[in-house]
């Protein structure tokens, strides 16, 4: 079995226990936090345009609500499965705790290929999924958001379905049932680019710490969707040079720089980076070998593996995706002196601006973009500072382990004060 075939939840648990060891987390808390609180699976039928019914399987895993309502995205992808969603849900708990956001952790998804359906079929899938989840989600209970394969439109369908099932007097009150909505329907300025913006803020913090110059640095990004695209565009504005991009359709490279804005337009029209006229087509197997100072995995989990970790020539790997690095790969990267900025910190921008959207909906306010960006940066930099400080205090090399230790300490304190019921 290759290391990329290891259970994702097993990887998540390994990371959790490493962080827990650093702060001597009690065995009681370890057993509570090493399983999700609730695992909800729904099978629901949808009528397709050919007149046939298809039964879809959806998941909502609620890992922890100790710090606040369950919070996390919904993923639409054929590979979605219980093991994966459990891992992703636990990572949301650590992210909220690490960034001091009063949310818990959850994740959901439907195993299907959204690109294989017509738009009206997709709408019926999303609405029927929301209906099937019923009161398992709620604006102060469990708040979904977009993730891989879903987007702002999917969130609007979820919100509208939920609102129409609520009583008439409640309808305005439940907008915050999902975050990541379009601006017109109650979304927050900056939510669409929040995760990529957060990636760049974390990278800036690291660059300041180690004396690295982002201007002129070369960048390689795997995945050019919501997160990878925004990261590429913002880094370009900061003077970095995008030298390679890979996605599900292929890989491209140009030593002199690929224009991230032109590439965004291309991907919007063609659905993939493949065929982009402003760069050279390369064999996807050669993608990891392309020299770049910064490597940003922003696609799926288990992409940086024992097979390709030895080929990577970057100085730093910035985990914009969730769980992109296998345990074996991380060991190889550490031995090779390549820094890994961990996912639970690096991609928390989406969660943080989701929280801002939820707050705006709750008080019927609209913040402006500068305000959102400023608050996002402050929140993330505080989390980065906490990781740097604890890393020094505990004399630990791994930034991931230090980030887990910060998150778990916060949860530990709350458990100590609240105890468990009854
Ligand atoms: P997206 O659907 O917008 O984009 C996904 C990208 O991955 C696309 O470019 C796609 O072509 C590429 N991809 C898919 N399969 C691939 C494969 N086999 N090989 C190479 N590339 C492949 O998704 P997104 O929202 O940008 O999410 C990307 C990652 O970031 C996921 O791990 C997600 O969990 C994580 N994330 C997203 C958010 C968010 O706000 N959207 C927040 C935190 C973390």
Separation between Cα atoms, residue 187 and residue 15, nearest integer Å: 33
Q: Is the pLDDT of residue 79 over 80?
A: yes
Separation between Cα atoms, residue 198 and residue 115, nearest integer Å: 27
Averaged confidence pLDDT in the chain = 97
Q: What is the pLDDT of residue 2?
A: 58
Q: What is the pLDDT of residue 176?
A: 97
Residue 150 Cβ contacting ligand 1 at under 6 Å: no
Cis peptide before 422 (omega within 30 of 0): yes
Is CATH 3.40.50.720 what the domain over 194-346 is classified as, yes or no? yes
Q: Is the pLDDT of residue 4 over 70?
A: no
* SS3 annotation, the chain: CCHHHCCHHHHHHHHHHHHHHHCCCCHHHHHHHCCCCEEEEEEEEEECCCCCEEEEEEEEEEEECCCCCEEEEEEECCCCCHHHHHHHHHHHHHHHHHCCCCCCEEEEEECCCHHHCCHHHHHHHHHHHHHHHHHHCECCCEEEEECCCCCHHHHHHHHHHHHHHCCHHHHHHHHHHCCCCCHHHCCCCCCCCHHHHHHHHHHHHHHHHHCCCCCCCEEEEECCCHHHHHHHHHHHHCCCEEEEEEECCEEEECCCCCCHHHHHHHHHHHCCCCCCCCCEEECHHHHHHCCCCEEEECCCCCCECCCCCCCCCCCEEECCCCCCECHHHHHHHHHCCCEEECHHHHCCHHHHHHHHHHHHHHCCCCCCHHHHHHHHHHHHHHHHHHHHHHHHHHCCCCHHHHHHHHHHHHHHHHHHHHCCCC
Separation between Cα atoms, residue 9 and residue 220, nearest integer Å: 27
Q: Express each pLDDT in 112-129 by its tens digit.
A: 999 999 999 999 999 999
Atom of ligand 1 nearest to the CA of 145: 40
CATH classification code of 36-185: 3.40.50.10860
Q: Is the pLDDT of residue 148 over 60?
A: yes
Atom of ligand 1 nearest to the CA of 150: 2
Question: Catalytic residues, which ones?
Answer: 107
Q: Is the pLDDT of residue 135 over 60?
A: yes
Q: What percent of the chain clears pLDDT 70, i.e. is strictly above it?
A: 99
Expressed in angstroms and rounded, the spacing between residue 165 Cα and the centre of ligand 1 is 31
Q: How confident is the model at residue 6 (pLDDT cuts 50, 70, 90)?
A: confident
Q: What is the pLDDT of residue 311?
A: 97
Q: What is the pLDDT of residue 159?
A: 98
Q: What is the pLDDT of residue 400?
A: 98
Q: For atom 23 of ligand 1, which residue has the closest CA?
A: 148
Q: How confident is the model at residue 171 (pLDDT cuts 50, 70, 90)?
A: confident
Domain residue limits, the chain: 36-185, 194-346
> Rounded mean pLDDT of 233-252?
98
Q: How confident is the model at residue 169 (pLDDT cuts 50, 70, 90)?
A: confident
Same fold, 36-185 and 194-346: yes
Q: What is the pLDDT of residue 297?
A: 98
Q: 220-257 burial, b for 16+ CB within 10 Å, e for fewer?
A: bbbbbbbbbbbbbbbbbeeebbbbbbbbebbbbbbeee
> Rounded mean pLDDT of 214-231?
97
Residue 190 Cβ contacting ligand 1 at under 6 Å: no
Q: What is the pLDDT of residue 366?
A: 96
Mutate to test the pocket of ligand 1, among 76, 84, 227 (most ligand atoms within 8 A of CB): 227
Q: For atom 29 of ligand 1, which residue has the closest CA?
A: 321
Q: Is the pLDDT of residue 1 over 80?
A: no
Q: Are 286 and 244 in contact (CB under 8 A)?
A: no
Separation between Cα atoms, residue 180 and residue 355, nearest integer Å: 10
> Rounded mean pLDDT of 183-195?
96
Q: How confident is the model at residue 172 (pLDDT cuts 50, 70, 90)?
A: confident
In degrees to the nearest 10, what's the CA dihedral of 406, 408, 410, 414? -170
* Rg of the chain taking only CA atoms, in angstroms: 21
Q: How confident is the model at residue 66 (pLDDT cuts 50, 70, 90)?
A: very high
Mutate to test the pocket of ligand 1, among 75, 147, 202 (most ligand atoms within 8 A of CB): 147
More reliable by pLDDT, 6 or 140? 140
Expressed in angstroms and rounded, the spacing between residue 199 Cα and the centre of ligand 1 is 14
Separation between Cα atoms, residue 405 and residue 345, nearest integer Å: 12
Two tokens, residue 83 = 């093991």
Distance of CA 21 to the CA centre of its chain: 25
Q: For atom 39 of ligand 1, which residue has the closest CA?
A: 147
Q: Express each pLDDT in 253-312 by its tens digit.
A: 999 999 999 999 999 999 999 999 999 999 999 999 999 999 999 999 999 999 999 999
Element (H, E) at 411: helix 399-418
């Amino acid at each position: 079995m290759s290391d990329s075939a290891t259970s994702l939840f097993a990887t998540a648990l390994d990371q959790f226990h490493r962080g827990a060891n650093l702060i001597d987390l009690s065995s009681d808390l370890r057993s509570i936090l090493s399983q999700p609180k609730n695992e909800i699976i729904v099978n629901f039928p949808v009528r397709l345009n050919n007149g046939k019914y298809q039964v879809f399987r959806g998941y909502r895993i609620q890992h922890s609500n100790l710090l606040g309502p369950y919070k996390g995205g919904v993923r639409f992808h054929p590979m979605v499965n219980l093991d994966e969603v459990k891992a992703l849900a636990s990572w949301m708990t650590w992210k909220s705790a690490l960034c001091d956001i009063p949310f818990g952790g959850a994740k959901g998804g439907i195993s299907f290929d959204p690109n294989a359906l017509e738009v009206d079929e997709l709408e019926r899938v999303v609405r029927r999924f929301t209906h099937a989840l019923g009161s398992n989600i709620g604006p102060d209970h469990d708040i979904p958001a977009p993730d891989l394969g879903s987007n702002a439109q999917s969130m609007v369908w979820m919100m509208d379905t939920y609102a129409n099932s609520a009583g008439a007097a409640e309808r305005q009150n439940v907008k915050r049932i999902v975050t990541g909505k379009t601006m017109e329907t109650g979304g927050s300025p900056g939510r669409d680019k929040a995760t990529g913006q957060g990636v760049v803020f974390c990278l800036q913090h690291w660059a300041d710490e180690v004396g690295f110059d982002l201007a002129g640095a070369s960048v390689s990004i795997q995945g050019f969707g919501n997160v990878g695209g925004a990261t590429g565009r913002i880094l370009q504005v900061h003077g970095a040079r995008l030298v390679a991009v890979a996605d599900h359709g292929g890989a491209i490279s140009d030593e002199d720089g690929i224009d991230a804005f032109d590439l965004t337009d291309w991907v919007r029209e063609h659905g993939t980076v493949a065929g982009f006229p402003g760069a050279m087509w390369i064999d996807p197997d050669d993608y990891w070998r392309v020299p770049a100072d910064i490597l940003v995995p922003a696609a799926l989990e288990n992409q940086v593996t024992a097979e390709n970790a030895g080929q990577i020539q970057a100085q730093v790997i910035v985990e914009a995706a969730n769980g992109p690095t296998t345990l074996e790969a991380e060991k190889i990267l550490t031995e090779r002196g390549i820094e890994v900025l961990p996912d639970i910190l690096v991609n928390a921008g989406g969660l943080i601006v989701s929280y801002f959207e939820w707050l705006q909906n709750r008080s019927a306010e609209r913040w402006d973009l500068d305000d959102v960006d400023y608050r996002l940066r402050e929140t993330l930099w505080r989390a980065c500072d906490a990781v740097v400080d604890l890393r020094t205090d505990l004399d630990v090399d791994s930034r991931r382990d230090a980030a887990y230790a910060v998150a778990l300490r916060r949860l530990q304190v709350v458990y100590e004060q609240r105890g468990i019921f009854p």
